[in-house]
Structure 1
Amino acid sequence: MTENKADVVMFPKWKSSLEQKGRTALQAKKYKEALEHFEQLISFEAANSEVMTGKLICLMELGRYEEAETICRELMKEDEGNYFQYLHIYLTVLFQTSQYQELLDLLDEVFESEEIPQEVRKQFWQLYDITKKLKEDESSAEYIEDIDEFIASLDSKDAKKQWRCLSKLKKQDIHPYINELVPFLKKDYIQPVIKTAMLQWMQEQKVERNVEVTKLGETKVVNPSKLDDILSHPSSRQILNLLDPVEQDNPTLYEFIQQLLFRYMYVRFPVMPTDEETPSLAKAFFELGTSYLQLDHYPFPLENYGSQKEVDLWKQQIEYYEANYFSVLDES
């Protein structure tokens, strides 16, 4: 027959002795030794908040932050009487492990929902201010690193890496680097998809200046802040308007064509089709859509769309641009 330690009575003198040994070792910064004493007390279910706090301090000093974090979360739920004590330790763990955003989010929640003692609130606000500054500095350093990586990738002609970099940067302020980035919009070796992504970044950041963009052998001067979204551009709207009957009759086909159109226009943007080109382009999108969805006998709703030769040429271009689009986004 075996006995659980929890079933064994720990005599008061033994308990006091272990507590004293743990405190003494902790004060002497003998964290492993102190932890052993605290663990003994815990194993006999003879641990109070002082013992648990001692254990948490030892874990942090020994670099065992994940354990300390987990135990803190459990204690914050189980020991309401010492909630703020454990919360303070938990915040310290987050701070020391540079989990700045998690710390800020938690304190935002605490300030909003908890009745915090005044002295504790003051300490938490001080920690909040310090953490916020560190987070801003960290974000600034990361941004500089990310933008440097992106500019280097533009020179290396690695389109997939450029796309990954842009995905991280698109919420950041582009203005400090705009003069370095604008010349790449004219470089022939930069993929059209990347140029569009850069333009959209400028558009979202409301860049108020003219920039030159070279695509499809044509150079256009545009002001990013005044550009339409891709499917809101008059050329896109005109093609979709021509296909309105399809939307009414077959929404699935219409949605598929709309996706094809978006990717095609994404590659071209801001060099868009003319009004004269849109009817034959609409027919090309329709034929590709019905072919992909195996709706070959579905009738095209327009009579005037130019020659079939024009339509076939547009279909080739659409498929070429489709491949171009996915060649950049494909992560495999």
Structure 2
Amino acid sequence: MKKNEHKVIPFPHLGELLMKKGMEAMEEKNYKEAYRYFDQGIQIEPDHEDINIGLALSLVELGRYQEAKVIVKRMMEQGIGDYFHVINIYLMILLQLNEHGEIIHVIEALFDEQQIPPERVESLENLLAMSKRIVGQQTDPSQPSQTEGLPIDETEVLRILENGTIEEQLYILSSLSNQNIRPWTDVLCQYLIEEKHPFLKTLALSLLREQEVNKTVELDKFGQRWTVNIEDLPKVEETEFLKMLQKELSEKLEHNDPIMYEQAMEMVKRHNILLYPLNIDHLSIWAEAYERLVKEAYGLVWDEPDEEISGILEEIRKLEGITFPVI
């Protein structure tokens, strides 16, 4: 080696550190900072699955869909990460870009290759059918003109919100987030009291809140109906349920067993989305129930829970049984 010529030696585990920092920024919804961490991480470990996915998802959150698409397509071509998980992210990005022709191509190829997990067949068939309808409507001049900001006309939007599949409703609600929803306020308020998936109701309520719709509405969830003022609602990630359980589970688990703490919090975050904006009582007992549930998974609990804990465990297991509508 010549004098003054040096090898650059990366700091050990720097890629993992950057990935962790990026994940923390994503959880805090600081997407610009998350992108910065993931972008640095990919320079060090270009084939790291989680760094690539984190970078793509941070770009999605920043509305930079074309750049995210390039990253995910490279992952597919180079075999980085779980193939079907990466395909799911790719389809999500294509939906945001309204590239329904490409969606049709991808899904039909998956069916031809018989690479679809059985539990995903129905949802992908629904997505395929919807994309074919949209492509047909876009190319048929006899169809009504499109609703501004949406790839399909108003009649079709109303039909999907009323009777469409969960995947179709998720797509429409996601599309509405990119435009002024005030013309759709009455439709979304009616949606909140109909028999719909609790995740989708949370999404609809969040749309109204984010666009500062000042309205008192009725909400029906888990057999309860009550009135809420949209402006008074906290953000989904700032509910008392989430904050208190995070505090209590941190005290119970984080220092002694951070893995169990992360697993418990993943459940709490999923259930918080489903329950929002219900006021949940006895949060200390809920924390005990979540702690017990993760410990049971490791075979660390043998005694029978008391009646109060048992009732909450039953509620948690019901929430775990609710499938999230994902692309």
Superposition TM-score, scaled by structure 1 size: 0.49
Larger Rg, first or second structure (1 or 2): 1
Higher helix share: 1
Q: Which TM-score applies when normalising by structure 2?
A: 0.49
